[in-house]
Amino acid sequence: MAVTPRIHDVAEQEALAIEERYPGYRAALIKALDEVVGHQSQSHTGKRREDITKVVDVLGRSAVVARTGGS
């Protein structure tokens, strides 16, 4: 992320338009996007997509946990 600080700035603005599925969801979404962008330095597409799937899974689990109220 060192050479792309604008992504984070703009993501903070654009996240406001996304439904806050649970308190802190937008912040988690921005953090997840940072991670996804961070993974772009990997040239191996398969490995990169695997890692991004994990990022999405973590975010998704947080949302599920927030919805169901427990782990």
Partner 1 sequence: MLIRSAHIRNFKLMRDVTIGFSADPARPLSVIRGENGSGKTTLLYAMLWGLYGMDGLPRPTNDKDLRLTSTYCPTGTPVLVEVEIIFDHTDDMGLTSQYRLRRMVFETPLPDGRCPRGQDDVKLFLLAPEGDKPMVSAAAWVEHLIPHRLSDLFFTNGDDIQKFISGRVHSHERQDKVHQAIRELLGIEQLTAAVGDLKYVFGNLKRRVSAESGYDAQELEDICGDLRRQIAEQENIRSVAETRQKGMETQQHEWERELHQLRGIGDLDELNARITTLKSRMSECRDREQAAFGAMRTAFRGQPLSWALAGAQLDQGRGKLEELAHRGVIPNNSLQVLEDRLEEGECICGSDLHPGTDLRQHVERLLAEQRENSPVAQRLTELRYDARGLIAAGADAGEFAAIRDAALAAYTAARDEQISIGVELKQAEAARGRIDDSRVRTLTEELAAVGPKITDGIHELGRITERIEKLGRELEENEKKLDQLVKKRQANRDLITRRDVADDLRVLAEKVQGRLEGEYVARVSARLQEIFLSIVGADPDARLGVFRGVSITENFDIVVASQNDTSLDTDYELNGASQRALTLAFIWSLMEVAAITAPRLIDTPLGMVSGGVKQRMVSTITHPPTGDEPPYQVILLLTRSEIMEVGDLLARHAGAFVTISCSKDYPADLVYDWAGDEPVIRACPCTHEQSCQICARHLDNAHGLAFRDSVTAT
Interacting residues with partner 1 between 30 and 59 (CB under 8 A): 30, 32-34, 36-37, 39-41, 48-49, 52-53, 56-57, 59
The alpha carbon torsion through 6, 35, 70, 13 (nearest 10 deg) reads 10
Interacting residues with partner 1 between 2 and 31 (CB under 8 A): 2-11, 13-15, 17-19, 21, 29-30
With left for phi above 0 and alpha for psi between -120 and 50, is residue 69 left, alpha or beta?
left
Reported residue count of the chain is: 71
Contact 11, 18 (CB under 8 A): no
Residue of 24, 27, 47, 60 interacting with partner 1 (CB under 8 A)? 60
Instruction: Please report, as ranges, the residues that interact with partner 1 according to CB under 8 A.
Output: 1-11, 13-15, 17-19, 21, 29-30, 32-34, 36-37, 39-41, 48-49, 52-53, 56-57, 59-61, 63-64, 67
